[in-house]
Amino acid sequence: MINKLNKIILFTILTIPSLSKACAVCYGAKDSPMTDGMNKAILFLLFVIGMVLLGIISVIIFFYRRSKLINQNIGIIK
């Protein structure tokens, strides 16, 4: 089923070449507003990923410090 679908998609792309034309970003038009928007979107996604990773790291540090404090109050760690 999937193999047949892949053949249909490939046949459609090869028979209608206007479907396979590159956009301004892929083509490399540096002065295009589409390229500028794509670059800003990439930077935004990198920022979001960085903030999520910083959040995960800060929670790990918080849990580590809190467990260390609890263990010191109990007297397990000297």
Domain total for the chain? 1
The parent domain of residue 59 ranges over: 24-78
Measured CA to CA, the distance from residue 19 to residue 1 in angstroms comes to: 23
19 domain-assigned: no
In a domain, 45, yes or no: yes
Yes or no: say if 78 and 68 are a contact pair by the CB < 8 Å rule: no
Q: Is the pTM of this model over 0.75?
A: no
In a domain, 8, yes or no: no
Name the 3-class secondary structure at 29.
Answer: coil
Q: Report pLDDT digits (tens) over 16-59.
A: 777 666 666 666 677 888 888 888 999 999 999 999 999 999 99
Q: Is residue 48 part of a domain?
A: yes
CA–CA distance, 78 with 74 (Å, rounded to integer): 10
